[in-house]
Amino acid sequence: MQTALITGSAGGIGVALCRAFRSAGYRTVGLDIELAGADCDAFIEMDLERFCIDEQYRSAAKTQLITEMDSATLRVLVNNAAVQILGDSSKLTVATWQKTLHVNVLAPFFLSQTLLEHLEHTGGSIVNIASIHASLTKPGFVAYATSKAALVGLTRTMAVALGGVSGSTPFVQRL
């Protein structure tokens, strides 16, 4: 049975992703800061901001990920988790920016990096969930929109580096 690891599995989109992958025959492993609401076969509790900034936490989390994942079956990593801290540009703090960028951009990169060898072994895929706010946004979304635009850029460059595709192919789409 193929496995899909889905971050942000306790939120609305995450729950729907877990259900969709399960109905397609995948074993689903959810990853979120808390279990409440998750609908998956297995669950890993993880704080993605801490994963980005605390080396000891990241090391322990990597061990937990590798232990939970059957490397022979990991087929999909879905980087869905995100924080959406809204606010007027004049009032956003350094802490707000850091949390947004850690969870929405750096965590997908570091999780991809951690699981890349396993995904390459199975011919797997990485799916990064962006937002319409990456290109069309509205007031109050400056940190979130910026982070999602960065995630689109990260996805594009990783696709070119890892998949050998050009940046103009439809392989990388804004979701």
The answer to whether 17 touches 6, Cβ cutoff 8 Å, is yes
Residue by residue, what is the 3-state secondary structure of the chain? Answer: CCEEEEECCCCHHHHHHHHHHHHCCCEEEEEECCCCCCCCCEEEECCHHHHHHCHHHHHHHHHHHHHHCCCCCEEEEEECCCCCCCCCHHHCCHHHHHHHHHHHHHHHHHHHHHHHHHHHHHCCEEEECCCHHHCCCCCCCHHHHHHHHHHHHHHHHHHHHHHCCCCCCCCCCCC
Alpha carbons within 13 A on the beta-carbon side of 111: 35
The residues annotated with a catalytic role in the active site are 144
